[in-house]
Structure 1
Amino acid sequence: MQKVLLTGGHGFLGNEIYKYLKTDRDVSVLTLGRSVNNDIIADVSSSSLSLPSDINIVVHVAGKAHSIPKTPTEIQEFIDVNFQGTKNLCEALQNRAKALKSFIFISTVAVYGLNSGKLITEDSPLNGNTPYARSKIMAEEFLRNWASRNGVILGILRLPLIAGPSPPGNLGAMINGIKKGKYLSIGKANARKSIVWAEDIAKIISVIANKGGIYNLTDGYHPSFNELEKAISKALKKPYPPKISLFLARFIARLGDLIGSKSPINSSKLSKVLSTLTFSDNKAREELGWNPTTVLDKIYLIINSNNLSK
């Protein structure tokens, strides 16, 4: 039986991975995290981690995301959790887990540091300069060296927007905004974004644990804002969100630039909304047999099965 250590197993993505791994009778799952619901109660940013010696596979999902730091202390938190936390975990594994075979790290497409582009591949430079992106780049670089020195198979999954039941981040905000009638569609809303279904990520874990490598994962369709807005509105049985012109949106964004960090919209955020940004998952399809489902269909099913809390 394979023993898997799963960090962040009670978070959004971690929970999907946990549920899927538990269906495999040949796998025993230990969760590590700060809440009392975990098998091992610990904070990865702490250097004092105590782990069993018979761990075969690590799936490192725990990390800090979905927030914009406003102070040096908040910026440092990204480094402490995403980078130093990864180092602490590896140090504990190196001292205890003699049976370790594979380490799977959940990373992000933010490492590329791009606001626009089409079908960006894994070979693209890692130019991300936000605290979140930098912390993930540092963790990736550390892991590549550590895994090579210790003969561990390393898998790195660079993920875009993740969809699933009660999604966090921008997708959850869009769903809740449309549900409450507080969402505005901007212009033609034809910019496309990569997205991936959480359960599909869970299903590929066992494959990458045996093979390793660095992969972008997407649903392969890359829906536009317009398509997402329509699918969500239809599923919620709500009218299509009201539109505002690009002229008005840009005017509001400029006001946001003057207001500062407290503004929900500024020119930089608007530019991201209006720009297509997609990533290629061809490598995963060719090497891992990646065959994802289309998120647009899944969003409709999830909303109508009442699995979304809001």
Structure 2
Amino acid sequence: MILVVGGAGYIGSHAVKELIREEHQVVVLDNLSTGHRGAIDERAISVQGNLGNENDLESIFKQYPIKAVMHFAANSLVGESVTDPLKYYENNVAGTLTLLKVMMRYEIKKFIFSSTAATYGIPNVELITEDTPTNPINPYGRSKLMIEQILADFANAYQLQYVVLRYFNAAGADESGKIGEDHNPETHLIPIILEHLLGKRETISVFGTDYPTPDGTCIRDYIHVTDLAAAHILALDSLLQTHGKLISETYNLGNGEGYSVNEVIKKCEEVTGRKAEIRYTERRAGDPAILVASSQKAENDMGWKPAYKLEEIVRTAWQWRRDNIDGYSK
């Protein structure tokens, strides 16, 4: 069985669905603080509890034959991490340490960690590889990098086998239309645009038009959430097939090409057939001009290659949001 911590969240719920499609048995642990009960596949065993609660973890490891853990249960709002760093270090770092401690107690040593491009900070390269220096500029990114460093120490001391997956901009929804992106507050560009096109927001704000990019707006790498989930399956397969060989790998997950904010808005307009009202404003502090990932290492090592381009990302996101205009609260 696979334990998915944070399996009621956006990316976690898509990973659960892919695991079940691959005929894995799944236990989900989630406190539902930001996740949604309705996002959990009904074929998974669902446990409401906390990442940092030893008793919650003990009860799962005692009851179920867990052979690997996927960890998605992080707080992830960059702005909030600046104003409330305690919350981020307590949950993201201390909570993960508790999970790892209990895993070691039960000799569960296969771990897949949901990390982030925020570990790179503001890189001085246009195509980010895993060798690009990490220099996070906010507590969220620092909390993720701290865990990556802890994992390396655990691998050295306790023979933990792990894969770190650094996502770029996750977007889209499962093709079934049954699960998708529903955050409160919503901070991601594509769902914000789609909410506006559905009449739930008056305008779209674009921060900065004077970046050194073709149209002056920021360029980002968007990756479909199902492609992310597929990478987790491949990472799990590699861990389960090691037969004692120590694995400690880090991979970027992105499409390898970037789209500007204006290009994303235009694609959303094309897919939906609706026109956006755009408000251009000043740059936000700390926004790099370009963030695009090289995922060549993931392709070379795991055979992973993203299947979805921007149009399919927007199409699936639109299907989900149009049919679930109030998200999971409907």
TM-score, normalised relative to structure 2: 0.77
Q: What's the counterpart of residue 242 of structure 2? A: none
1:226 aligns with 2:262: yes
Unaligned runs of 5+ in 2: 38-44, 174-179, 210-214, 240-246, 326-330
Q: What's the counterpart of residue 175 of structure 1? A: 194
Residue 202 of structure 1: how far off its partner (Å): 1.1
Q: Distance in 2 between matches of 1:77 and 1:70?
A: 7
Q: Distance in 1 between matches of 2:153 and 2:86?
A: 23
Counterpart residue identity of residue 94, structure 1: M
In structure 2, do the counterparts of structure 1 residues 243 and 10 end up closer, same or farther at CA, with 3 Å as the change threshold? closer
Q: Distance in 1 between matches of 2:117 and 2:77?
A: 14
In structure 2, do the counterparts of structure 1 residues 235 and 34 end up closer, same or farther at CA, with 3 Å as the change threshold? same
Q: Distance in 2 between matches of 1:65 and 1:304?
A: 23
Q: Distance in 1 between matches of 2:22 and 2:162?
A: 21
Counterpart residue identity of residue 30, structure 1: V
Q: Distance in 2 between matches of 1:79 and 1:151?
A: 25
Instruction: Summarize the alignment of residues 64-143 of structure 1 with structure 2, pairs less than 5 Å apart.
Output: 64-69=75-80, 74-96=84-106, 98=107, 100-114=108-122, 117-143=125-151
Q: What's the counterpart of residue 261 of structure 1? A: none
In structure 2, do the counterparts of structure 1 residues 303 and 65 end up closer, same or farther at CA, with 3 Å as the change threshold? closer
Counterpart residue identity of residue 105, structure 2: N
Q: Distance in 1 between matches of 2:170 and 2:234?
A: 20
Q: What's the counterpart of residue 192 of structure 1? A: 219
Unaligned runs of 5+ in 1: 254-265
Counterpart residue identity of residue 90, structure 1: L
1:205 to 232, 237, 240: 232
Counterpart residue identity of residue 302, structure 1: T
Report percent identity of matched pairs: 24
Counterpart residue identity of residue 89, structure 2: I
CA deviation map 1:28-87 (0-9, x unaligned): 101111149563332113344313252111000111012523786x21010011111110
- Number of residue pairs matched? 282
Structure 1 vs Structure 2 CA RMSD: 2.5
Q: Distance in 1 between matches of 2:78 and 2:141?
A: 12
C-alpha contact (below 8 Å) 2:82/2:139 kept by paired residues: no
Q: What's the counterpart of residue 2 of structure 2? A: 4
Q: Distance in 1 between matches of 2:105 and 2:81?
A: 37
In structure 2, do the counterparts of structure 1 residues 173 and 307 end up closer, same or farther at CA, with 3 Å as the change threshold? closer
Q: Distance in 2 between matches of 1:179 and 1:301?
A: 14
In structure 2, do the counterparts of structure 1 residues 87 and 184 end up closer, same or farther at CA, with 3 Å as the change threshold? closer
C-alpha contact (below 8 Å) 1:122/1:214 kept by paired residues: yes
Counterpart residue identity of residue 194, structure 1: D
CA deviation map 1:116-169 (0-9, x unaligned): 641111112221031101111111111111133222321000011100234343
The more displaced of 30-39 and 85-94 is 30-39
1:29 aligns with 2:56: no
In structure 2, do the counterparts of structure 1 residues 32 and 104 end up closer, same or farther at CA, with 3 Å as the change threshold? same
In structure 2, do the counterparts of structure 1 residues 234 and 135 end up closer, same or farther at CA, with 3 Å as the change threshold? same
Secondary structure in structure 2 of the residue aligned to 1:305: helix
1:238 aligns with 2:247: no
Q: Distance in 1 between matches of 2:203 and 2:156?
A: 50
Counterpart residue identity of residue 221, structure 1: E
Q: Distance in 1 between matches of 2:229 and 2:320?
A: 22
1:164 aligns with 2:172: yes
C-alpha contact (below 8 Å) 1:235/1:303 kept by paired residues: no
Counterpart residue identity of residue 39, structure 1: S
Residue 267 of structure 1: how far off its partner (Å): 4.4
1:291 to 305, 323, 329: 305
